Structure 1
Amino acid sequence: MDLPETVDASDSWQNSVRKLIGSDKVTVHHWRIEPTQAGPLAHTRRSMSAHTDGTHLPRPPDYVALGCISPPSFGGATFLLDGHDLIPKLRVGMAAALREPRWYWRLPGADRTRLAAPRAVLAEFGRIRWWRFALWPVDGVQESVADELDTILIQQQPSVKVEWTSQCALLFDNARMLHGREAFDGSRVLRRAHLWVN
């Protein structure tokens, strides 16, 4: 996709997103702003494995927007992996297991034993839902498939790597791209927005 050189800062968020994604693909009916606290791992300086946001939700966000308020003194790059590049690397039996709607995800919050309804990792239209940290495997087969998938993700080269600078922003397809981060030193402040489109 060809991105515009700039997006007018005076434009509304809706118009900016329409320009980036394509006006024929975005219909905004309602924008709901609900400030939420990020999970405990987000408040560490550790690396974060490749994942999609909202694995526990019936419908995870279609897009994720990240904006940098304050970059770290060292490290902290965000990387993106293309999930569509990942699917051909899966064994046939592994892909079939990931398409079964029997994967449980922990709900965010202090009580990490509460689970969302089971969903497929690989869903229709190539949608991907994954975060090993939030997964609750139901048996040894799922544990093995999850470990194998994480190994593939670790070995995959990033499609995009963003070294954060102040006022830098990133918008990506959460149904296709998995994202993660490198460990960092110092303070790193990002703002995140989840976007759902029709």
Structure 2
Amino acid sequence: MSSSRTALPTADEEFTLGALGADGSERAASVLREHGLVRLGRLGGRSDVLDTAALLMPALWHHRDADPDGLTVIRDTGRHEGRVGFAGLGRGDLALHTECAQLPRPPRLMLLACARAAEEGGESLVVDGRAVLAELATFHPAALEALSAPRAAYFGGSDGHFAPVLEHLPEGRWRLRLRQDELARFSPEAEAHLPALHRAVERHTIRMRLACGQGLVLDNHRLLHGRTGFTGERLLLRALGQAHCSLGLDPGFPAPWPAPASAPAGRG
């Protein structure tokens, strides 16, 4: 896959737990607001992950697969390969998606921390929804119109949720929501434009190989994430939650074009 044209944080711009709790906190918040992603380093273990998450999220959202402390262990369980909605707990490819797309209000932040790297493969995949939005708006406006309709997609099972893939919010901002498995169904109008969406996603996908002790904080309303298949005993810890008000995150992300003098009301 090609490198993203979006300027994600550089590899040497990592934040430690100590920096997030001290002078580096505002810089990390600025990086998160600008890029939707912050890189973490020197995470010593589960307690460091919990302490880091506590600086970013007022409370952890308890996922279906989470442990009592709110962290989810992402590994090959040997029981979930091939089960719909459980691809993350196998060792195959994990299609790019936003977390908890089936919920009316998905958690805003996701923290992923590598506790053990794979022998081969297991690269983290990241896509900036702002770059995807820019490409669709420029080259496929009909696709953007169909994918931003209020009922463009239905995510989840019987208790799922209708939502746009790219939701137009007030103040010229947008929010991304997507999954690419059997738990996503699209309106006929949106489905006709999925090839354009998939091409844009692929074009802006970047790969990141996390070493033990490294991690990522992702804006789940802006970035897609996924994984390549792997061998070995890869193990990540995941935390989900809404963003702490100190981070200054406005709803969604800004459009990749200048706002008009009088912005139209949001459709979402």
Is the TM-score greater than 0.5?
A: yes
* Aligned match of 2:240: 194
* Aligned match of 2:258: none
Query: Which structure 2 segments of 5+ residues have no match?
Result: 1-8, 34-54, 66-73, 75-84, 246-268
2:212 to 147, 159, 166: 166
Displacement of 1:100: 0.9
Aligned length: 184
State whether structure 2 residue 231 is matched by structure 1 residue 181. no
Q: Mark the CA change 1:17 to 1:169 in structure 2 (over 3 Å): closer, same or farther.
A: farther
1:84-163 to structure 2, matched below 5 A, reads 84-90=130-136, 91-102=140-151, 103-106=153-156, 113-123=157-167, 124=169, 125-133=173-181, 134-139=183-188, 141-154=189-202, 156-159=203-206, 161-163=207-209
Partner letter of residue 192 of structure 2? S
State whether structure 2 residue 14 is matched by structure 1 residue 8. no
Given that 1:132 and 1:146 are in contact with CA atoms closer than 8 Å, whether structure 2 keeps it comes out as no
State whether structure 2 residue 62 is matched by structure 1 residue 34. yes
3-state SS, counterpart of residue 163 of structure 2: coil
Structure 1: how far apart are the matches of 2:96 and 2:197? 11
Structure 2: how far apart are the matches of 1:169 and 1:193? 11
Partner letter of residue 7 of structure 1? L
Displacement of 1:4: 6.3
Structure 1: how far apart are the matches of 2:60 and 2:27? 20
Higher relative contact order by CA 8 Å / sep ≥ 6: 1 or 2? 1
3-state SS, counterpart of residue 114 of structure 1: coil
Structure 2: how far apart are the matches of 1:31 and 1:79? 26
Given that 2:19 and 2:25 are in contact with CA atoms closer than 8 Å, whether structure 1 keeps it comes out as no
Q: Mark the CA change 1:35 to 1:119 in structure 2 (over 3 Å): closer, same or farther.
A: closer
How large is the RMSD of aligned CA atoms in angstroms? Answer: 3.0
3-state SS, counterpart of residue 67 of structure 1: strand
3-state SS, counterpart of residue 132 of structure 1: coil
Q: Alpha-carbon deviations, 1:123-174, whole Å to 9, x = none?
A: 12221111121311243x33222343123312x1434x32122121111211
Structure 2: how far apart are the matches of 1:63 and 1:10? 15
Given that 2:96 and 2:224 are in contact with CA atoms closer than 8 Å, whether structure 1 keeps it comes out as yes
3-state SS, counterpart of residue 144 of structure 2: helix
* Aligned match of 2:28: 20
Displacement of 1:180: 1.2
Partner letter of residue 104 of structure 1? Y
Q: Percent identity?
A: 23
Q: Mark the CA change 1:16 to 1:130 in structure 2 (over 3 Å): closer, same or farther.
A: farther
Structure 1: how far apart are the matches of 2:103 and 2:111? 18
Query: Which structure 1 segments of 5+ residues have no match?
Result: 107-112
3-state SS, counterpart of residue 180 of structure 1: strand
Partner letter of residue 117 of structure 1? H
Q: Give the alignment's TM-score, normalised by structure 2.
A: 0.59
Greater CA drift, 36-45 or 90-99: 36-45
